[in-house]
A = this chain, B = another copy of it.
Amino acid sequence: MIVILKHNPDPGQLGGLLDWLREKGVTVHTSVGEANTILGLVGDTSRLDIDLIAALEIVEDVKRVQEPYKNANRKFHPEDTVVRVGDTQIGGGSLTVMAGPCSVESEEQVVTIAKAVKASGATMLRGGAFKPRTSPYAFQGLGETGLAYLRAAKEETGLPIVTELMDLSQLPLFQDVDVIQIGARNMQNFDLLKAVGHQEKPVMIKRGMSATYEEWLMSAEYVMAGGNENVILCERGIRTFESYTRNTTDLAAVPVLRRLTHLPIIVDPSHATGKSWLVEPLAMGAVAMGADGLLIEVHNNPSHALCDGPQSLRPEDFDHLAKKLLPLHSFVAGMEG
């Protein structure tokens, strides 16, 4: 961390700051210039509150050199994290394909889709029981009943389930869920992050609509600080001025996160674009760029889906896509080898 002091800082205040920093176990190197004095802080600064320092009257600016996340940081954990779920795994060179409907609508629907996507190569079933909707008048999901239908589909197909937790009061219902999804709108619902950090199921955190990489990793850090190291990150697009697509998919997140963290990285081209015809090219790009997996909406009747129909693939489209993704993944892996 670098602290830039104002011109002619009050010596008493400066002494106080230096004492406080030494107390925290931080070594300070001072560069006295004509315009500014610069303090270089060396040691573990991840637990220093940058706001506290910036608030001091003698301080002009504070800049971080080290990342504020520790558990999620590849520097301190060079090996890739591999999250094991049932017979499958996320990360470690495999390609995870999570597929299923945006909303669970009926047992028949979700079982039918689950069988279809499994036959095409999906490794996990995704489906929404609790649905975050911007309108209070829109369909809010089947809730507990939806979870029961997902369980039926899991029993039928053996596919592990990933589904969204919206509030910590719902946690007791998630016993048969395999991966807990934290939605984009809850990426900084810190009480929810703490709660899932204190249980053992893997947690997949979607990137917030306007979250930076650092904030996203800090949300992972919240979960990991509670003791749960099985965290997965899911890019789902960020909000920009471009309104042709629902969001702007930031595929560079894949290689950037690969460098910053050891956690697996999934891409959700369905929510990111909001258009089913963009799912295939974005999924291809994500795989070519090294994503650990994809989250893809599949619906047996997108024209009658109760939510997000325009972005869902039909099972036959998903089958076509899966038949391209898996060879592409092998081809790209072969070039790396």
Contact = CB atoms under 8 A, between A and B. Distances in A.
Given A212-B243, A332-B284, A303 B63 contact: no
Interface size on A, as a range, is: 35 or more
A318 interface: no
A78 interface: no
B303 A225 contact: no
Interface in A120-178: 132-140, 166-169
A131 B30 CA distance: 34
Contacts of A137: 46-47, 68, 225
Contacts of A273: 252
Contact of A210 (B47, B209, B244, B309): B209
B49 A213 contact: no
Main secondary structure of the interface of A (DSSP, over half): mixed
A36 to B, nearest CB: 6
Interface in A209-268: 209-210, 212-215, 218, 221-222, 225-226, 238-245, 248-252, 254-256, 259
Interface of A: 2, 4, 13, 27, 29-36, 38, 40, 42-43, 46-47, 49, 51-52, 54-57, 61, 63, 65-66, 68, 132-140, 166-169, 185-186, 188-192, 194, 208-210, 212-215, 218, 221-222, 225-226, 238-245, 248-252, 254-256, 259, 272-273, 277-278, 281-282, 284-290, 302-310, 312, 324, 327-328, 331-332, 335
